[in-house]
A and B are shown apart, each in its own frame.
Chain A
Amino acid sequence: MTPAFDLWVYLASTPLLWLTVTLIVWIAADRIALASGRHPVVNPVLLSIIALGTLLIVTHTSFATYFQGAQFVHFLLGPAIVAIAIPLYRNLDKVRENLLPMIAALVMGSVTAVVSALAVAAYFGLPDPVLAALAPKSVTAGVAMGIAEQFGGEAALTAVLVVTTGLLGAIMVTPLMNALGLKDYAARGFAAGLAAHGIGTARAFVVDEVAGTFAGIAMALNAVMTALILPLILYWFLK
């Protein structure tokens, strides 16, 4: 064995390497997004996932090895969600003003998210377990996987569909809201959090603090709402 190979074997097995690579790839992706003027299509999360995924495949690194390093970043997700309490507290007046619009939008949006996805999939005749895995895709990953498993869906497939939905929502939300002529950041953020959970919420925080706050509320509410309505809707679609 060459010394260079020995070094690689050593580095590849320490958390340091992949933690550092994750941060550097993110910084590069974020710079590219910034250079594009934060164009919605140039999404830094998507760019990072593609770059890191390619890197893992090229270097024959397993996700388990990668995650030993990346878990330190992943871990911060929990405290970051808790941290949304601060913008919520700061913008409490705006939240109080919009209570009724929020409740109406939650019910309509939550039902639309589940029914429209199932309708397309059922039209093409996808089997029941795939429908069950697809139905909760707008909900934050942990809750969505729990719901899917309850109805015979595969949790891993749900995880993939949840992340894809988040990326699609984060990319779509700005151009779509502009096309609809909606300028209210409360409404735009609420839609992003409802349809695209945490990844949509992260995008909303980049755009505007009020949008981020409403996105965080929508994400939390939709997790509960979907858990309540999904069994009723799925009942009509499963054969």
Chain B
Amino acid sequence: MIEAFALLLLCQLAGEILSHGFGLPMPGPVIGLLILFAGLVIAQNFGKASAASINDTALGRATQGLLQHLSLLFVPAGVGMIDHLHLLQTFGPILFLALFVSTALSLAVTALTFTAVKSWRSPRRAS
């Protein structure tokens, strides 16, 4: 449990160092994700990790707990909006409309493109 958490923090720390050190357009935790992922793939090549059993390890259990409650972790930053609500006074309704239209469109376009390309590929593979 402690080892698993230390490993997650270590990867994040390495990610932050790379992100800030090189001014990368990727946040530290995302780079940390890639580092941990690469580590797992390397460990698998040495027979130390497998996709089938990863959830039964301490690391697997710790991450399942964290990811099940991922939504909770966005609450404090969300509450921070109350300090800046005055910024919405002038253009609030228009901005909300822009966000509403854009979010619906980008969800639809992304999912439809994904499934269209997938179904265009799979019949070819079957033949």
**Chain A interface (Cβ within 8 Å of chain B)?**
22-23, 25-26, 30, 44-45, 48-49, 52-53, 56-57, 63, 66-67, 70-71, 73-74, 76-93, 98, 100-102, 104-106, 108-109, 112-113, 116-118, 120-121, 124, 126, 130, 134, 137-138, 140-143, 146-147, 154, 156-157, 159-161, 163-169, 172-173, 176-177, 180, 182, 184, 186-188, 190-192, 194-196, 198-199, 201-203, 205-206, 212, 216, 218-220, 223-224, 227-228
With A134-B95, A168-B100 given, is the CB distance from A79 to B84 under 8 Å? no
Contact at B73–A163, with CB atoms within 8 Å?
A: no
With A53-B82, A83-B66, A84-B33 given, is the CB distance from A186 to B114 under 8 Å? yes
Distance between Cα atoms of A84 and B62 in the complex (Å): 11
Contact at B98–A80, with CB atoms within 8 Å?
A: no
Contact at B103–A104, with CB atoms within 8 Å?
A: no
Q: Which of B25, B33, B41, B96 contacts A143 (CB 8 A)?
A: B25
Chain B hits for A49, CB < 8 A: 75, 78-79, 81
25 A-B pairs whose Cβ atoms sit less than 8 Å apart in the complex: A45-B78, A53-B79, A57-B82, A63-B83, A67-B80, A78-B29, A78-B32, A80-B73, A82-B36, A85-B37, A88-B37, A90-B55, A92-B51, A100-B117, A105-B111, A124-B94, A159-B84, A160-B84, A166-B74, A180-B108, A182-B112, A187-B114, A187-B118, A191-B110, A195-B107
Contact at B87–A157, with CB atoms within 8 Å?
A: yes
Contact at A85–B118, with CB atoms within 8 Å?
A: no
Contact at B110–A105, with CB atoms within 8 Å?
A: yes
Contact at A86–B29, with CB atoms within 8 Å?
A: no
Most A CB within 10 A of own CB, among B30, B84, B100: B30
- Is chain A's binding surface mostly helix, strand, loop or mixed? helix
Q: Which of A73, A142, A169, A228 contacts B76 (CB 8 A)?
A: A73
A-B pairs with lowest CB-CB distance, top 4:
A109-B110, A70-B76, A81-B29, A227-B25
Chain A hits for B127, CB < 8 A: none
Chain A hits for B33, CB < 8 A: 81-85, 88, 216, 220
CB distance from A159 to the nearest CB of B (A): 7
Contact at A86–B60, with CB atoms within 8 Å?
A: yes
Contact at B82–A116, with CB atoms within 8 Å?
A: no
Contact at B99–A182, with CB atoms within 8 Å?
A: no
Contact at A78–B28, with CB atoms within 8 Å?
A: yes
Distance between Cα atoms of A174 and B62 in the complex (Å): 27
Is B26 interfacial (CB-CB < 8 Å)? yes
CB distance from A152 to the nearest CB of B (A): 15
**Contact flags (1/0) for B45-75 with A, using CB distance below 8 Å?**
0000101001100011011101110111111
Contact at B27–A143, with CB atoms within 8 Å?
A: yes
Contact at B79–A169, with CB atoms within 8 Å?
A: no
Contact at A223–B74, with CB atoms within 8 Å?
A: no
Contact at B76–A22, with CB atoms within 8 Å?
A: yes
Q: Which of B36, B67, B88, B110 contacts A108 (CB 8 A)?
A: B110
Most A CB within 10 A of own CB, among B9, B62, B63, B98: B98
